[in-house]
């Protein structure tokens, strides 16, 4: 069993899910009626909650993390290299044309923000 809520009890989630699935309430009306924060909270409950009258609430994992296929990884790597080359070119041109060492400027600003 997976925990999808640390704020709401299982019985509360069950009540909301049952009322929404039955059509008694819309997601928006349930959100307002019960004071549920977060626009996606009830949608997540609807996606993750299975209600068995004998066992109560059971949670299921709806999204499994999986690594993208190797071709996608290679394409993402190529795109990252192109972006890096692009940014390096911009930094180099800024130094040549305007005398600005943006790498140094950005590094010093980063260090200043860490000190705060």
State the CB neighbour count (10 A cutoff) for residue 30: 19
Q: How many residues does the chain have?
A: 116
Answer yes or no: pTM beyond 0.85. no
Give the pLDDT confidence score for residue 67 in this predicted structure. 52
Tens digit of each residue's pLDDT (9 = 90 or more) over 52-83: 666 666 655 444 444 556 777 788 888 889 98
Tens digit of each residue's pLDDT (9 = 90 or more) over 35-57: 888 778 888 888 887 776 666 66
- Provide the CB-side half-sphere exposure for 52 (13 A, CA): 6
Rounded CA separation 24/43 (Å): 16
Enter the tokens of residue 26: 């819309």
Tens digit of each residue's pLDDT (9 = 90 or more) over 14-24: 888 889 988 99
């Amino acid at each position: 069993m997976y925990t999808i809520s640390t704020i709401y009890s299982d019985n509360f989630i069950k009540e909301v899910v049952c009322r929404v699935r039955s059509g008694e309430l819309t997601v928006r009306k349930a959100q307002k009626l019960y004071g549920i924060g977060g626009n996606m909270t009830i949608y997540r409950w609807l996606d993750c909650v299975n209600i068995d009258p004998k066992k109560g609430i059971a949670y299921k994992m709806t999204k499994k993390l999986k690594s993208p296929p190797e071709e996608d990884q290679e394409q993402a790597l190529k795109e990252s290299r192109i972006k890096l080359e692009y940014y390096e070119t911009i930094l180099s041109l800024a130094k040549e044309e305007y005398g600005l060492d943006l790498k140094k400027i950005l590094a010093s600003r980063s260090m200043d923000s860490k000190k705060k």
